[in-house]
Amino acid sequence: MKKKFFISTFLILTLATFTSLMVKWQFSPYVFFIKDLKKNIAAVTNPSFINTKDLSLNEDPPKDHDFGSIIKLHDIKIVKLIQLNNFKFQWGRVDAKELKRVGAAELNGKNIWYVNQDDFKLTNRLGLEDKITSNGGIKSIFSINNKSYVYIAYVDNACATARLIDLTSMKVALQLPCLPNSENADLNASGGAFLRLADNAVLLSTGTPTMANPDHEINQTAQSDKSLWGKLLKLNLINDKLTVEIFSKGHRNPQGLAKIGENIFDVEHGPMGGDEINVIKKGNNYGWPLQSLGSQYDLGTINKSYTKPIVTEPPMLSFVPSIGISYIDKCPQIYNDYYAPNECLAASSLRGKSIDFIVHKNGKVLFTEKLQFNERIRKFFVRGNTIVALTDFKGVIIGNLDKLN
């Protein structure tokens, strides 16, 4: 009798374990994918400290913002190692409990300055603290001619929109129009990527902030030459006057912009699938919402042609499914040098929890290699052979890339 009880208990437990595994597999094969990749992260025994000498060579002078927070990057221990084909990335982590979804960050030597998207002190000073809904908030902070500007997305009554505020005078420098049918706005997709072109000129990305289908009016703004949404905007500051021109159009939600070598690249979120890395040229149309390699969230097909109904620019690389591409910078110097004369860029991801090195030549991607982490990476900085990455809610990853031998 007792034996029978044990056998049936054992069978029930085995069946329950098997079922829960099957459920997990069926609904989230991605969990297992990540788990397998975790094997590439090895724990380091006898930890030494991360070499931060490349950070002290940083050319940007520290900014005297009286808001935001500082994370110190001194004396961080190497605890993990990721092995690539010819390189190893040895890294550690600084836990930062206050770090949420970062809206702006700067690496100043061995300190990271950052401000969260929903930072109360700043949104309160801007008079928008009760209007940061629908995933709005501080999307970027940058300077033109040493004047600091904040790009902030917010909802005021029935109007979902964004504005640029001069942080010295606190005056509105640029007001975007209300999004059409604002009730469908998702201000996560307000862009906020920026790139300094000259002392008095910056590129700033807006986006088409909605999860709705391509035919929705918010998405259609990206193709309109009369709308500032869905664009890369060139901001010029001349004699204290800010002027705006449309640099390129057809962008869904660019989150990162960088000039690497001779080219400007952006990384932008696609719909369901179809995140993109684009080579940016003035006057180009990058296709959204006429074209995407992704699909609608209801699985509806989106046109794949680059010539019909009008000519649009294909991405250099698209990610299907989407990795939640979040930021872009150059590759570590040692990696770049190893693969020269080919070129290299690094792109981070939220959903993919990675930093990918993308080696390309003449607009053609040759191969990619992946630093796979376990955290969503929102922004990162490459200085020399050191990478510093800000994660959502967890802290900062910092490490050095070295040759394997």
**Identity of the residue, 201 or 365, whose beta carbon is nearer to Ca ion in the bound complex:** 365
Helices then strands, counting H and E runs in the chain, come out as 5, 25
Joined together, the tokens standing for residue 144 give 């033109």
The arrangement of strands across the sheet holding 172-175 comes to 137-144, 147-156, 159-166, 172-175
CA distances from 90 to 118, 123, 367 (A): 32, 37, 22
The least distance separating Ca ion from the CB of residue 291, rounded to whole angstroms, comes to 6
The least distance separating Ca ion from the CB of residue 263, rounded to whole angstroms, comes to 16
The least distance separating Ca ion from the CB of residue 292, rounded to whole angstroms, comes to 6
**Identity of the residue, 230 or 384, whose beta carbon is nearer to Ca ion in the bound complex:** 230
**Identity of the residue, 289 or 352, whose beta carbon is nearer to Ca ion in the bound complex:** 289
Query: Does residue number 395 form part of the binding site for Ca ion (CB under 5 A)?
Result: no
The least distance separating Ca ion from the CB of residue 272, rounded to whole angstroms, comes to 14
**Identity of the residue, 291 or 386, whose beta carbon is nearer to Ca ion in the bound complex:** 291
Instruction: Please compute Rg for the chain using Cα positions.
Output: 23
DSSP 138-176: EEEEEEETTEEEEEEEEEETTEEEEEEEETTT--EEEEP
How many residues interact with Ca ion (rule CB under 5 A)? Answer: 2
Using CB positions, name the residue nearest to Ca ion: 287
Residues 6+ apart with CB under 8 A from 146: none
**Identity of the residue, 149 or 286, whose beta carbon is nearer to Ca ion in the bound complex:** 286
**Identity of the residue, 286 or 327, whose beta carbon is nearer to Ca ion in the bound complex:** 286
Nearest partner of 401 among 393, 388, 74, 230, judged by Cα:
388
The least distance separating Ca ion from the CB of residue 177, rounded to whole angstroms, comes to 23
The least distance separating Ca ion from the CB of residue 164, rounded to whole angstroms, comes to 25
In the range 275-314, which residues lie near Ca ion by CB under 5 A? Answer: 286-287
Contact call for residues 287 and 250 (beta carbons, < 8 A): yes
Helix axes 2-27, 29-38, angle to 10 degrees: 90
Contact residues toward Ca ion (CB under 5 A) are: 286-287
